[in-house]
């Protein structure tokens, strides 16, 4: 997984080079989100829904659970906008502890990417997920957390399995604004593997 420090960090260049090198070792070509999810219909359950057809906007409130293939998005409020190209953009806010939750299976692996933040935006056009505000993102192997990163914001690209983690600007407190993470060793690939 790729960790990128806050651009203002004096160690940014060295850590960026290390992160790029590590990302090549930890993520293979088959580690993307389920390809089939992109063509699946978006289904939802909520306490209430408001459809603004002229605006191509659906506003879902109260215990919202949205699914699209293996992708799951849960929160108190989700706004789903239908884009002109047929894709959807879902913006989730609220939820347990004021946080929205996202989870999606990775292509051809028994792994999931999941995360939570004060705001989660799934952008169907670019197949990216943006976690903003006390963001946490995890990679799970089966049900076991393999990797985890935290920061003010995390942007995950489902197509390339690359993500950026950004801290908040420092305010003088020790450790404030830094990103944090744990990267577990990956299992050895089979002989003749990828």
54-94 per-position pLDDT tens digit:
999 999 999 999 999 999 999 999 999 999 998 999 999 99
Note the pLDDT of residue 4.
42
pLDDT averaged over every residue in the chain: 79
| pLDDT exceeds cutoff 70 at 1 | no
| pLDDT exceeds cutoff 60 at 155 | yes
| pLDDT exceeds cutoff 80 at 109 | yes
Confidence of residue 117 (pLDDT cuts 50, 70, 90): very high
Compute the distance between CA of residue 126 and CA of residue 109 in angstroms, rounded to an integer: 22
Compute the distance between CA of residue 46 and CA of residue 62 in angstroms, rounded to an integer: 6
pLDDT digits (tens, 9 = 90+) for 161-174: 888 998 876 555 54
Closest CA to 82 of 102, 56, 64: 56
The model's pTM is 0.74
């Amino acid at each position: 997984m790729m960790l990128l420090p806050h651009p203002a960090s004096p160690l940014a260049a060295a850590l960026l080079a290390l992160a790029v090198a590590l990302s090549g070792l930890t993520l293979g070509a088959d580690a993307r989100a389920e390809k089939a999810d992109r063509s699946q219909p978006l289904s939802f359950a909520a306490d209430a829904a408001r459809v603004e057809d002229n605006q191509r906007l659906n506003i879902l409130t109260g215990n919202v659970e949205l699914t699209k293939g293996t992708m799951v998005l849960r929160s108190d409020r989700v706004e789903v906008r239908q884009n002109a190209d047929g894709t959807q953009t879902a913006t989730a806010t609220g939820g347990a502890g004021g946080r929205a939750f996202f989870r999606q299976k990775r292509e051809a692996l028994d792994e999931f990417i999941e995360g939570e933040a004060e705001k989660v935006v799934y952008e169907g056009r670019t197949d990216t997920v943006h976690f903003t505000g006390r963001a946490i993102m995890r990679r799970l192997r089966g049900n076991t957390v393999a990797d985890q990163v935290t920061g003010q914001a995390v942007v995950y690209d489902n197509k390339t399995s690359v993500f950026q983690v950004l801290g908040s600007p420092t305010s003088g407190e020790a450790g404030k604004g830094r990103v944090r993470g744990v990267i577990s060793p990956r299992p050895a690939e089979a002989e003749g593997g990828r």
